[in-house]
Structure 1
Amino acid sequence: MPSTFGGSHQTVFDFLSRSPHFIIPEYQREFSWSEDNVDQLIDDIAQGVSKLEKIQPVDDRRDSGSKFLGCIIHWDREAVSNEDFHPVTGINYISRVYELIDGQQRVSTITLLLCELYFQIERIIDRLCIPSATMVPNDLIC
């Protein structure tokens, strides 16, 4: 008989790319991490990144640069129409969701950090790219 509960260790990337459909249930407390909590998480991530050696293969870097960032408990379940998503006639965009039971503060903080990183990279690319007069308006020479 298969176990209802199971655990595994994953990279942040692997965890977040499993499914884009995370749900924070209403019974979870609001985001309440202080600046100290966020700073500690950033320090933990920076410590893991500092151990990376660029000459190592990617898989080896994942192992040597890994850092335990805490436990996350989620419930993998079928999505419920009108609760988890707004239904569109004839289309079911979401079939499964990951309901965060524990680790919501950590996952929310990592998501916010990744969004900020994305915007910072976007600003850098905008400053480095020069539009070409001979190209379609959205094409850039970088």
Structure 2
Amino acid sequence: MGSSQEENAVIDFPNWLLEDLRREVQRAFARDGIVDVSKVAEYVRSRNESCNLALEDFESQVLLAATEFGAPMLLECLEAAGKGNRTDRVELLNHGPAWIVRLTEKGAVDERHFEVETHARAYASGQSFRLGSSAHRRMNGHADTPAE
């Protein structure tokens, strides 16, 4: 394992790439009212593969840009798998100091608000388990390393 300095190294994004990323964050926020961090990061990364940067680096920059714009962020999404019902999902969202778990089950949507990230993550994991899914995570991240 590398040293702490290596692990916390800041990737130097070219200014033109940062501007492109910020534009995409603004577009996603304007279009959807929320920034799906992994979706925006993957979109920008796929258009700029020649830069040879990891998806995680793009996700970190999307988090920073969305925070800068004050946009709510979808950080993690757990989808029910196996029962053929792709509409059931558990979403973990961050909006400023608030953490929101949005549960969509059989078309009905329920939201729970939490002040503490670990409480929100625990509730989201429990709901995913209750749905009987072998949930997959589209993205697991936050500017500060999250507790699992």
TM-score past 0.5 threshold: no
Between structures 1 and 2, the one with greater strand share: 2
**Structure whose alpha-carbon radius of gyration is higher:** 1
Between structures 1 and 2, the one with greater helix share: 2
TM-score by length of 2: 0.23
